[in-house]
């Protein structure tokens, strides 16, 4: 299996990368990056790209599965417009190129609360991305809806840091229908994504599949 990974430098994406490289089912991992990663591996093909010109690298999209963990914050992006470019524009461009090359499966890390009708900008952008991916008619589309992601980040995110401190208490009261709002380890999400992608060998089922993965399902898939 050949897998393309977008967002390999992020918290979850980095863990997905390591997981993919350790699986026998995966023969090649194509990582699109702005700057080269320190990771060296026989299976890893790093490609430094300008994400504004992904169409210049359409040949790289000759893979079996695309896993997208791209994402930023408005503070880091600098504006809502830049945020939309990273969290919506780049994934859509990659998905369109993937379909043009015959990619059969797309696995996306979105977010709990994603909805194109949301009054919250972040959730609305995530929802718009999900709607667009559905319209591309991937034979297999899996959308992950994690809540707060736990793990060591390279950059500090003040609001998330405060949330992490509070989550052990909050998680105890989020039960039943509220399970999906529980914080989850980034490693758990990554393991689920890797396991799911490897389960598609040699290829997804003939019938179209669209899955939404929330807390309980993510934990189950992570094994």
The dotted CATH code for 2-222 is: 3.40.50.720
22-60 burial code (b ≥16 CB/10 A, e <16): ebeebeebbbbbeeeeeeeeeebebeeeebeebeebeeb
pTM of the model: 0.89
126 catalytic residue (yes or no): yes
Q: What is the SS3 assignment for 212? A: strand
* Closest C-alpha to 12, from 96, 83, 68, 94: 68
Q: Where are the domains of the chain?
A: 2-222
Cα 26 to Cα 21: distance, rounded to the nearest angstrom:
7
Residue 146's pLDDT band, with cuts at 50, 70 and 90, is: very high
Asked if residue 68 lies in contact with residue 108, where contact means CB atoms within 8 angstroms, the answer is yes
Catalytic residue among 90, 126, 180, 215: 126
In this prediction, residue 207 carries a pLDDT of 79
Q: Which of 15, 43, 85, 122 is catalytic?
A: 122
Active site residue 165: no
Burial (CB < 10 A; 0-12, 13-18, 19+), residue 5, is buried
The pLDDT tens digits for 5-25 are 999 999 999 999 999 999 999
SS3 state of residue 51: helix
């Amino acid at each position: 299996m050949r897998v393309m990974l977008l967002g390999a430098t992020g918290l979850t994406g980095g863990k997905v990368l390591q997981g993919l490289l350790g699986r026998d089912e995966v023969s090649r991992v194509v990582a699109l990056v702005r700057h080269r990663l320190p990771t060296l591996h026989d299976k890893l093909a790093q490609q430094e790209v300008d994400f504004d010109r992904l169409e210049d690298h359409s040949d790289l999209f000759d893979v079996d599965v695309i896993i997208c963990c791209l994402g930023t914050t408005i503070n880091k992006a600098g504006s809502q417009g830049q945020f939309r470019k990273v969290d919506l524009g780049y994934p859509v461009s990659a998905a369109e190129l993937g379909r043009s090359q015959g990619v059969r499966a797309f696995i996306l890390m979105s977010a709990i609360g994603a909805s194109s009708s949301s009054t919250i900008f972040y959730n609305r952008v995530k929802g718009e991305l999900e709607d667009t991916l559905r319209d591309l008619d991937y034979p297999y589309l899996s959308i992950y809806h994690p809540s707060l992601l736990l793990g060591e980040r390279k950059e500090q995110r003040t609001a998330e840091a405060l949330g992490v401190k509070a989550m052990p208490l909050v998680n105890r009261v989020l039960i039943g229908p509220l399970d999906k709002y529980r914080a989850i380890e980034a490693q758990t999400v990554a393991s689920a994504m890797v396991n799911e992608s490897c389960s598609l060998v040699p290829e997804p089922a003939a019938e179209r599949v669209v899955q939404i993965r929330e807390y309980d399902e993510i934990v189950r898939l992570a094994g």
